[in-house]
Chains A and B, each alone.
Chain A
Amino acid sequence: MEQFPGLIPYWVIMVLMMMGLYIVIAHGNLIKKIVGLNVFQVSVFLLYITMAKVEGGTAPILAEGIKLYSNPLPHVLILTAIVVGVATTALGLALVVRIHNAYGTIEDEEIDKLEDQT
């Protein structure tokens, strides 16, 4: 169990991830699904960020007298991923707006009902 403190971040990440996934699957509201998707993605961002932490290291900014830095690469990667995530969210919300215009609802079940009729 001595590894336990070191693994806490992973536990947190996994819980977050599963929460996000659960929201996506279980919720019928299209907006809530996107919220869930965001939680899901953020958990992965955290995974990368925690990976980057080097014990005793500081922020990776070159400065006098500091030898140990955290790994900057995952931060950079996640910057990209965040941008992608924002784009996805924006597109998803835009689609929801158009779905609302076309169907008059954003509830999955009601949309299914309307689709079955046509």
Chain B
Amino acid sequence: MIAQHLPILQIVLPLMAAPVCMVIRHPQVVWIWATLITFLCLPISIALLVQVMAEGVIVYELGGWAAPWGIEYRIDKLNAFVLVIVTAIGAVVMPYARRTVDTEIPVSRVYLFYTMLLLCEAGLLGITITGDAFNLFVFLEVSSLSSYVLISFGKDRRALTAAYRYLIMGTIGATFYIVGVGLMYNATGSLNIYDLSKLIPELGGSRTIQAALAFLTVGLGLKLALFPMHMWLPNAYTYAPSAVTVFLAATATKVAVYALIRVTYTIFGTVDILEIVPVQDMFMVMAVIAMFVGSLVATYQVNVKRMLAYSSVAQIGYMMLGLSFDTVTGVAAGIVHLFNHAAMKGGLFMALGAVAYRVGGVRLEHMAGLGKKMPWTMASLVAGGLGLIGVPLTVGFVSKWYLIQAALEKGWWMIAVLIVICSLLAVVYVWRVVEVIYFRPVSEIAQEAKEAPLSMLIPTWVLIGASIYFGIDATTTLDVAFAAARTLLGDGG
């Protein structure tokens, strides 16, 4: 009975739990409540993934209205995988959040913080699970609005301007998206993604459809911070509270990438329009530039959080590069990097949050000599950094392996070379931090620093551990990613 309603539970649970936080108000109780909810969401998404892998697509009709009139939730391998990423990060972030929230957010507002975090998770899950293009917009705004609020919780006043700028950019992006949806509706009379994927090919490359594609990609490109639409990201990540940075970095952009995959591969996947408007080529160019610019700018940041934010811009480039190949290997590499990057970056930002908690800042001078003061936190930072470089036995290696392979399969060895050059840039920015941590004497500020509390250390190592485990045994994640990629490219179900 319940198993049948898992898709809707996945959304309703955090969505309904959020207002309850407003009623509870007591900081500790709210935290327990929110943690409990995220812990419940994770098994639901895992159950959905298992079911999808075994039995194929799950279709859930909301209120019993059949698609295309009613809204349906449609879960295939791809979004089941993304659901697991989002809920897993959510479940790890909540236990971690308590300590950072204590120092970063006034007690009177703590309950609002958890409300927004749950709402944000609900929104992201909604984007992922829904099979309706307009419903996707609604969830996009639910997650966006709550993340603007979350970012503005940051202690630094620059968090406010970062949130404001993100709000402007994000709203423009979302509005572009609905223009695209509107044009598609105009041409086909349907809002159901699956329905659209069958109706749009019949229309071929009409001008309306071309315009729709343009609006959709630009809108989502803004959301996922694809170069050159990434301007909002570094400040937002840098000044947001630690737990928020972890959550957003590991999930928000990933979900936006997912939405873009849906649009380009599911809706427009079988249309010749991609030959008329070379979206893939544009993605590739932007992805490569993102990889370079992101990595290069990262190499001269003194704020380590900002450095990782630019690194995220570069890593989003990797994902988009994988997608732009338009081959099973390439798309699978992009999808698996969604997960891999979530694990690495989540763990890295958590380690930085621990530094901020103990030392009070995350600029290079704060980090000096911490190798001795906070050995475990720093070890996680190094392990995550090695993942960004793409050293074997980390998930970063797996992603790079398949990206390079996808490039070589197409015979684009220049792209393969560019990928490794970007990895080498990662060596530069990661090692700059490593040297500061281990070779500089402990700074004045950090004299009193101790190892991070276990409630922060354990979540950090869960993510870093995952980034190592799935780098050693990547068969699980790759099986899912390849299966999803094959479905997307219509290469057998």
Please report A residues at the B interface, Cβ cutoff 8 Å: 17, 21, 24, 30, 33, 37, 40-41, 44, 47-48, 51, 74, 77, 80-81, 84, 87-88, 91-92, 95-96, 98-99, 102-103, 111, 115, 118
Contact = CB atoms under 8 A, between A and B. Distances in A.
A80 B138 contact: yes
Given A24-B168, A96-B164, A98-B152, A91 B175 contact: no
Contacts of A118: 158
A102 to B, nearest CB: 4
B152 A95 contact: yes
Query: Which secondary structure characterizes the binding site on chain A?
Result: helix
Interface stretch (B178-186, B398-406, B466-474): B178-186
Contacts of B191: 77
B361 to A, nearest CB: 13
Interface in B116-147: 134, 137-138, 141, 145
A111 B137 CA distance: 32
A92 B160 CA distance: 10
Given A74-B182, A87-B141, 16 more contacts: A37-B168, A40-B172, A44-B175, A48-B182, A51-B186, A80-B138, A81-B137, A84-B137, A84-B138, A87-B145, A88-B145, A88-B167, A91-B149, A95-B163, A99-B161, A103-B161
B324 to A, nearest CB: 27
A115 B156 CA distance: 11
A118 B156 CA distance: 10
A102 B160 CA distance: 9
Contact of B157 (A21, A24, A30, A103): A103
A77 B145 contact: no
A33 B171 CA distance: 12
A47 B182 CA distance: 8
Contacts of B175: 40-41, 44
Given A44-B175, A91-B149, A51 B182 contact: yes
Interface string B394-429: 000000000000000000000000000000000000
Contacts of B163: 95
B148 interface: yes
Nearest to A106: B164
A44 B172 contact: no
A103 B160 CA distance: 10
Contact of A91 (B157, B158, B167, B186): B167
A98 B157 CA distance: 9
A21 B138 CA distance: 21
